[in-house]
Amino acid sequence: MALFQPTKFENPYTIHKFEDDFYEKYNLKKVQFLGEGMAGKVYLVKPKSGRGRWQAVKEFSHYPTEVRERNMRHFAMETTVMQVVSHPHLVPCHLAASGHDYSAIAMPYYPQGDLVLSGRQEPNRVHRLMSKVARAVEHLHKWNIAHNDIKLENVFVDGSDDAHLGDMGFALRVKDPLGFSPAWRVGGTKDYWSPEKLAADPHYKIDPFKCDVYAVGIMYWVLVTGIMDFTAGTDFVAKLVKTQDLNISHLQRSVLETLLEPNPLARPTAFEMVHILSLNESFR
């Protein structure tokens, strides 16, 4: 895939400094622990004054020392992408700051949480949510950025039931004019790896953009089937053929077969994925 020529990525972005405590400096109060990722913890916060928006704050720990470099690299990448690349279905950055013990990003709070849901989901809703995610992915790709860690845990749902793609710490800037990257740089969570990533020698070049598309297909699969017990290397198309009793339309079955195409050359681009998911049909 030939790369776009977007607005210059190295636009200035802002990282503030704090001495001791991020929450004291910005007059925020922790309300609830929301979860913990590889880099650190996430909290729901509100202004101490009681007035103003509630937000989620993601911390990037500087300790232990052996993870500091990795966490700071993820913090810098996530901050850059969130501040420079704007889209209605990408999680934005309200504030980024760094202190002695940790760095932090304040972002919107999405009351419905992530897309790790129990059981089969209503097919129409799944299709709509994945359409929004596809638009976010397409926009990232226009900036020559692969998200590189698309999964249910990284898609958040707001009060209007709209999807927002977040967690940009693994985002990959692709500079190769043909849009390829060494396989060792591609892919975050192994269960969402594409067949070509799984099979590739670490230094063999693969298309990270097509890997993103495959990961969207896995999310679609999990949500419409309710089948969570999958691992890297699962032949989703074969499972789809064997599972004929799914209450999904022919269009949705076709979408799954297309996004989960094992051959990356035959798999759609993000632009094509948006078109495929935008097709109107009464799914019932």
Q: What is the pLDDT of residues 204-247, one digit of tens each?
A: 999 999 999 999 999 999 999 888 888 888 888 888 877 766 77
What pLDDT does 1 receive?
54
What pLDDT does 38 receive?
86
d(CA 138, CA 151): 16
Flag the least confident range among 6-20, 32-46, 167-181.
Answer: 6-20
**What average pLDDT score do residues 130-159 get?**
97
What pLDDT does 7 receive?
45
Q: What is the 3-state secondary structure (H, E, C) of 213-237?
A: HHHHHHHHHHHHHCCCCCCCCCCHH
Flag the least confident range among 12-16, 33-37, 243-247.
Answer: 243-247
Give the distance, in angstroms, between the CA of residue 113 and the centroid of all CA atoms in the same chain: 14
**What average pLDDT score do residues 63-81 get?**
93
**What average pLDDT score do residues 136-163 get?**
97
Q: Would you give the DSSP letter of residue 109?
A: -
Asked if pLDDT for residue 70 goes beyond 60, the answer is: yes
**Structure tokens that stand for 279 in this block:** 């097709």
Fold exhibited by the domain 113-279: Transferase(Phosphotransferase); domain 1 (1.10.510)
What pLDDT does 284 receive?
43
Q: How confident is the model at residue 13 (pLDDT cuts 50, 70, 90)?
A: confident
**What average pLDDT score do residues 13-26 get?**
93
**What average pLDDT score do residues 14-19 get?**
93
d(CA 105, CA 76): 10
Asked if pLDDT for residue 131 goes beyond 60, the answer is: yes
Using alpha carbons, select from 145, 279, 276 the residue that is nearest to residue 211: 145
Query: Domain locations in the chain?
Result: 16-108, 113-279
Q: Which CATH superfamily is domain 16-108 in?
A: Phosphorylase Kinase; domain 1 (3.30.200.20)
| pTM over cut 0.85 | yes
